[in-house]
Chain A
């Protein structure tokens, strides 16, 4: 099926702007990459001079090019409706899905930047744990909730900066540098907390209210998540920082010759990822009312998997925030379906693994058909 679409993408005909008609339920993820390119060029072909406004603006919003992921989500939702009609479509279930997605979702935004920029960050879960522990020590808690939030964000950003410094100025491979941070940050979190779970003290419940206060039926932390996604989207698609992130990931040498400070940019990408971990730490403190060195175990893998399913290339230079978030929602929905249906968590892991493999295979086919 990919071969049939391949030549079409090459012709860059305006018709390609709307991704191929539905009817390939399994081809979901494959389409994103191709539709992305087709959408952009089609918009350009229609209005070569003023393409960035109007139709192109819409196409770049990503609704069109992520149709495959959306179809996969709809399919999963349909499975939920059929197998658990009484539990799935309830308000409380939807809230729990979104709350679950919010923490990893914030991390996924940062991860998307790092991976588009040609790197990888394995330390996100550990950094989040460290930030949550640091922010919930009795010493920090004595300053009140806002200092706690500031502390979590600063610890996250600081750890990210260390990653970035080691990678861009210490010339370490991202995999190694962030692996070291993963181990060390987790260890430091254990030292600080004495391996105990630190409760949020009385008087600092403002943080917990992020998960208990609801606006229009949704807890505040879902709005924080939405805000981070929106900010991430704007930065990636509408600012020089985002444009240069694509350039640095796509061809660092060309970026350097174009006058971009590639090292500084790379460092900032990891700092951004760390900042997202700090925000995620606040969210998990709100959800669990604790800070703990065990928070966020294996979050790095979930975040990376979500980014990959969303169509971002691990080699850098291509990808999108919306794709990553859709990828994450697919993952979260699968978890939810398995829990609702009382299925074995081991089977759930197997299913997730298969989904990653299928997503990558489909991506590769869509890439090959383009070149």
Chain B
């Protein structure tokens, strides 16, 4: 299977600090790839490079097998890459439909085409089997954390995206809401999307992911199938960069 998104040999520095060293990362359609790593391992930087927020210093970026240049968030969005940020990036004072179409509103002539937007939003939420939201004209401020996460994810898949990156989607959620969001994450992958899940929570990672990519101090320690590793091995990869045959040897990939 060819990865929909593939990075090879990515380097990224901020001034004198090199944050990513020769990182390779592949994401496959129909799979959930968990991106794990300790604080400061470079997860967020890697995601921002993918999303075009940070330009990469060197290395190559392939999308659906073809080399591409991604210099801005718009480039990434044009390819079909959507990022759901940790702080959700929703406007509390707008309703669900308005948020989902923010910045990309549909117009009929000069005025907003509310009917089309409402229909598309309703369809997207339906296709994700979201039933917890009472009305899509509800203000986002009236939603629970899980519902907000759902809206943010729905916003990301609305645009026929191929890769959806979720930055710690369950970090602020309770048990039931976490289960709901993970279920939704699984459903996205089952629909053929490539999903990247950034998470600190091993239970979430093992519950939902197909592959695990572990970053250690800015290097990709290992990218493995979830079914082939144990909980303890992943923790070891995160904390020391290696585990048995897996991972880095003297700081470089084996």
A247-B94 contact, Cβ under 8 Å, with A50-B118, A53-B115: yes
Whether A258 lies near B102 (C-beta < 8 A) is yes
Whether A257 lies near B85 (C-beta < 8 A) is yes
A48-B137 contact, Cβ under 8 Å, with A257-B89, A318-B93: yes
Query: Once bound together, how far apart are the Cα atoms of A329 and B87, in whole Å?
Result: 41
Whether A259 lies near B138 (C-beta < 8 A) is no
For residue B145, give the distance in angstroms from its CB to the closest CB of chain A. Answer: 15
Whether B139 lies near A255 (C-beta < 8 A) is no
For residue B78, give the distance in angstroms from its CB to the closest CB of chain A. Answer: 11
Beta-carbon nearest neighbor of B72 in chain A: A259
Q: Does A250 sit within 8 A of B, measured CB to CB?
A: yes
Whether B136 lies near A44 (C-beta < 8 A) is yes
Query: Once bound together, how far apart are the Cα atoms of A317 and B140, in whole Å?
Result: 13
Q: Does A239 sit within 8 A of B, measured CB to CB?
A: yes
Query: Once bound together, how far apart are the Cα atoms of A198 and B195, in whole Å?
Result: 69
Q: Does A253 sit within 8 A of B, measured CB to CB?
A: yes
Contact with A along B115-126 (1 / 0, CB 8 A): 100110010000
With beta carbons under 8 angstroms apart, the residue of B73, B89, B107, B137 that contacts A56 is B137
With beta carbons under 8 angstroms apart, the residue of B77, B85, B93, B135 that contacts A250 is B93
Beta-carbon nearest neighbor of B83 in chain A: A257
Give the residues in chain A near B91, CB-CB below 8 Å.
246-247, 250-251, 254-255, 317
Q: Does B74 sit within 8 A of A, measured CB to CB?
A: yes
Whether A52 lies near B115 (C-beta < 8 A) is yes
With beta carbons under 8 angstroms apart, the residue of A12, A56, A254, A258 that contacts B134 is A12
Query: Once bound together, how far apart are the Cα atoms of A53 and B115, in whole Å?
Result: 8
Q: Does B111 sit within 8 A of A, measured CB to CB?
A: yes
Query: Once bound together, how far apart are the Cα atoms of A53 and B110, in whole Å?
Result: 17
A40-B137 contact, Cβ under 8 Å, with A239-B112, A240-B105, A247-B102: yes
Beta-carbon nearest neighbor of B136 in chain A: A48
Give the residues in chain A near B136, CB-CB below 8 Å.
44, 48, 51
Contact with A along B83-105 (1 / 0, CB 8 A): 00101111111110010001111
Q: Does B114 sit within 8 A of A, measured CB to CB?
A: yes
Whether B102 lies near A254 (C-beta < 8 A) is yes
For residue B155, give the distance in angstroms from its CB to the closest CB of chain A. Answer: 9
Whether B115 lies near A254 (C-beta < 8 A) is no
With beta carbons under 8 angstroms apart, the residue of B90, B114, B122 that contacts A254 is B90
Give the residues in chain A near B134, CB-CB below 8 Å.
12, 45, 48
A258-B103 contact, Cβ under 8 Å, with A44-B138, A247-B94, A318-B93: yes
Most buried by A among B91, B107, B111, B119: B91
Give the residues in chain A near B104, CB-CB below 8 Å.
258-259
Overall SS of chain B's interface: loop
Give the residues in chain B near A318, CB-CB below 8 Å.
93
Whether B102 lies near A260 (C-beta < 8 A) is yes
Q: How many A-B residue pairs have CB under 8 A?
A: 110
Give the residues in chain A near B87, CB-CB below 8 Å.
253
Whether B118 lies near A52 (C-beta < 8 A) is yes
Give the residues in chain A near B73, CB-CB below 8 Å.
257, 259
Query: Once bound together, how far apart are the Cα atoms of A53 and B93, in whole Å?
Result: 21
Give the residues in chain A near B114, CB-CB below 8 Å.
52-53
For residue A206, give the distance in angstroms from its CB to the closest CB of chain B. Answer: 30
Give the residues in chain A near B141, CB-CB below 8 Å.
371
Query: Once bound together, how far apart are the Cα atoms of A58 and B135, in whole Å?
Result: 18
Query: Once bound together, how far apart are the Cα atoms of A78 and B110, in whole Å?
Result: 42
Whether A317 lies near B137 (C-beta < 8 A) is no
Taking CB atoms and an 8 Å cut-off, the chain A residues in 21-63 that contact chain B are 37, 40-41, 43-45, 48-53, 56
Contact with A along B134-177 (1 / 0, CB 8 A): 11111101100000000000000000000000000000000000
Most buried by A among B88, B92, B102: B102
Whether A255 lies near B93 (C-beta < 8 A) is no
With beta carbons under 8 angstroms apart, the residue of A43, A246, A259 that contacts B137 is A43
Q: Does A138 sit within 8 A of B, measured CB to CB?
A: no
Q: Does A234 sit within 8 A of B, measured CB to CB?
A: yes
Query: Once bound together, how far apart are the Cα atoms of A7 and B33, in whole Å?
Result: 43
Query: Once bound together, how far apart are the Cα atoms of A238 and B110, in whole Å?
Result: 8
Most buried by B among A37, A50, A243, A257: A257
Whether A49 lies near B89 (C-beta < 8 A) is no
For residue A261, give the distance in angstroms from its CB to the closest CB of chain B. Answer: 9
For residue A272, give the distance in angstroms from its CB to the closest CB of chain B. Answer: 16
Whether B118 lies near A251 (C-beta < 8 A) is no
With beta carbons under 8 angstroms apart, the residue of B89, B115, B122, B139 that contacts A253 is B89
Q: What are 17 A-B pairs at a CB distance below 8 A?
A: A10-B142, A12-B135, A40-B95, A44-B95, A45-B135, A50-B115, A52-B115, A234-B111, A240-B107, A246-B98, A251-B89, A251-B90, A253-B87, A254-B90, A255-B91, A257-B73, A317-B92
Given contacts A238-B112, A251-B90, A255-B103, 9 further A-B contacts (CB under 8 A): A41-B138, A44-B95, A50-B118, A52-B114, A244-B102, A247-B94, A253-B89, A257-B85, A260-B102
Interface residues of A (CB under 8 A from B): 10, 12, 37, 40-41, 43-45, 48-53, 56, 234, 238-240, 243-244, 246-247, 249-251, 253-255, 257-260, 317-318, 371
Closest 6 CB pairs of A and B: A44-B137, A258-B103, A52-B114, A250-B93, A44-B135, A259-B103
